[in-house]
Amino acid sequence: MTTPTSLPIEPLTGADVAREVIQCIGAFRLLRTAIIVSYTLQDYEFTGHGLVSDLLRRQLALGAKITVLTTPPPFNPKKNPYKDKLKLLEKLEADGIRVLLNERIHAKVYLFYDADDHRTTIVGSANLSHGGFGVKGTAVGWHEVSLVCSDNDLFQKTTSLVENGMMADRDTMDFATWRSLNISDIAIAKSGETDD
């Protein structure tokens, strides 16, 4: 039997997750660390704030340590989903963000620790994507639910679970290793060839 929690936990929809993430990585917060775990990963644009890749690069330039754990580009290298994710992963790595890949990642976890010692843990169903963050007009109108909490102990336990479980998994590899193992597919993706 579990005991009731007294932690300050709030439920969020996908759009609320997007608002919480922008509060954590936007111009008014200085991060120490960020860990983003998302099965689907897109260069989401926060209206009026810019692309997630630009916001992360800014935090990186200010001294943050940032890690992204996601799945490799999906399916056929001649298709746009593969090309788009490859381009984003290359951009993140070139900027100095630690990019880790694992085929079996399905989790959606956002961990932010800022210069004021404020810790934010978001865990739920919302991928870092247009559909996951509830953008109207996307092909699939996902109903997302996530929980946000600023408890330090929960942050540490979740960080440990991600680092010692998912990141340390034998199937997790850094982007450079994945790229060297998939050079043929990458060449196809960059050739301009498409499957219609």
Q: What is the CATH number of the domain that holds 140?
A: 3.30.870.10
Residue carrying the six token digits 């810019």: 50
**pLDDT tens-digit profile, the chain (196 residues):** 555 556 789 999 888 999 999 999 998 999 999 999 999 999 999 988 999 999 999 999 999 999 999 999 998 999 999 999 999 999 999 999 999 999 999 999 999 999 999 999 999 999 999 888 876 555 556 789 999 999 999 999 999 999 999 999 999 999 999 999 999 999 999 997 766 5
Residue 1 lies in a domain: no
Residue 3 lies in a domain: no
Residue 4 lies in a domain: no
Whole domain around residue 111: which residue ranges?
9-190
Residue 195 lies in a domain: no
Give buried/exposed letters for 39-59 (b at 16+ CB in 10 A, else e).
bbbbbbbbeeebebbbbbbbb
| End-to-end alpha carbon distance in the chain | 54
Residue 38 lies in a domain: yes
> What is the total count of domains within the chain?
1
Amino acid in position 56: L
Read off the pTM. 0.92
